[in-house]
Amino acid sequence: MMFGGKDRGLGLFMILGSFVLLGTVIWLVRAYRRMSVSQRAVYAWAIMQQHSAGISDLSAMGMADRAQAGTLRAEELQWLIDLDRSKPYPGDTRATQTGV
């Protein structure tokens, strides 16, 4: 018997884990497809600006998400630009909030 004794119930956990993984992949693909090309460029730019400065991944992704949505304050955007001036901002700076 394959899942007998101490392994009893392992198949159920594997199936449930597969559903969670499939749901995560579907959510990720749908989120990616909802973004326009310019939003993807701004998100990637913000991640790379922070990566080169050694910022932690979780905070970098949060700021990149706000940059992609256009909800960064002008000071935050300028801070990102100042991290590495050799990589120009790919979006429209007028689309960001000014002083929220």
The answer to whether 52 and 82 have CB atoms below 8 angstroms apart is: no
Run of H or E including 46: helix 37-52
Mean pLDDT is highest, among 2-11, 16-25, 29-38, for 16-25
Cα gap 80→75, rounded to integer Å: 9
Across 21-25, 76-80, 83-87, the highest mean pLDDT is recorded for 21-25
Question: Is the pTM for the entire model greater than 0.85?
Answer: no
Q: What is the pLDDT of residues 37-81, one digit of tens each?
A: 999 999 999 999 999 888 888 889 999 999 988 898 989 999 999
Query: Does 10 score more than 60 pLDDT?
Result: yes
